[in-house]
Structure 1
């Protein structure tokens, strides 16, 4: 069992590295104004960026507008992306999040107050920030994933490494959506607890 857990965690971390490299390559091609690369980048990134926009704006209609405007900026400024400063997901998430905040400022009757966002971001965007952090430290992520319950590890891997929705994960694992949601939530809580309790680094990681 421990061998399988370690293998799954290593595969998950490797997939995360591969996805980051893939997105970085697409951004480099987008900076050269390759339309095909932009379409591929949109397909690979839009679902997670839409989820981020929904958490900030609270409505799918607003989130759609935010994501579309965000991708216009990604197209325009792809040449400014520096892989030495942030992962592709972090860079694009920052653009979309700022776009969402701009949307809320332009729409004072949206029902969301920008002053409330710091508190909401700490909770609503915690998953995004958490995975952006680990994208830069695959070795630590691999270790922590290997310590999760198998169902939690599988659900998290399908959600964050393969980009599946909760309903898709439920179908893949033959489990109710509510159960999948619980697996992911509890798994993330466990990962956060491990990260908070981590000792001083020995491998040159972020911490």
Structure 2
């Protein structure tokens, strides 16, 4: 029987290196791929990976099972670590707390991102269905780590437009993924 991520994480908290190795083996490809899409460089992606697992090992990042899936938590750590690495390398100051400043807005679920990554071919197919403007903003926000404010400045559009396009794109992606899943996935043809 495979050990659950939470059980392995609990062992890591007691200093079990073998448990850390198991978590590393399970998530290394996903995290590296995510970091590479965000950073665009092999060396930076490797640095992100190292930082993520160091944060887990040194308990600078702590997981709470009541707040969501382990996979969502670890990809969140990877996202913010990748952004930090990009900041260091490019000397850019991103204000992450500007991303969702409307009082009743909630940030799109990182769990959605993880599930999308796990179903990569389905996401690529769904992304093809997005209008060009929405696709560009999703790539900048989720894979390049830009804030909504930075995207608005770079594309010379209003912050409200950026937020609307992200919301619409996520809504459309969920719909397209449901259609693809209903059909039984993406065909090889």
Query: TM-score, normalized by length of structure 2?
Result: 0.53
More helix by share: 1
CA 1:94 to 1:35, structure 2 compared with 1: closer, same or farther past 3 Å? same
Task: Structure 2: give runs of 5+ residues left out of the alignment.
Answer: 100-107, 130-171, 180-189
Match for residue 186 of structure 1 among 110, 125, 137: 125
Tell me the distance in 1 between the aligned counterparts of 2:173 and 2:89: 37
Q: Name segments (4+ residues, structure 1) moved above 4 Å.
A: 113-119, 126-129, 187-191, 194-197
SS in structure 1 of the partner of residue 33 of structure 2: helix
Tell me the distance in 1 between the aligned counterparts of 2:33 and 2:50: 13
Match for residue 74 of structure 1 among 39, 56, 71: 56
Q: How far did 1:30 drift? A: 0.7
| Per-residue deviation, residues 121-141 of structure 1 (Å, max 9, x unmatched) | xxxxx9964254x6xxxxxxx
Q: What does 1:4-153 align with in structure 2 at a 5 Å threshold?
A: 22-77=4-59, 80-108=62-90, 129-132=111-114
Q: How far did 1:78 drift? A: 7.7
Match for residue 118 of structure 2 among 157, 160, 168: 160
Task: Structure 1: give runs of 5+ residues left out of the alignment.
Answer: 1-17, 120-125, 135-155, 167-180, 198-207
Q: How far did 1:63 drift? A: 0.3
Query: TM-score, normalized by length of structure 1?
Result: 0.49
Q: Is the 8 A contact 2:87 2:94 kept in 1?
A: no
Question: How many pairs does the alignment contain?
Answer: 127
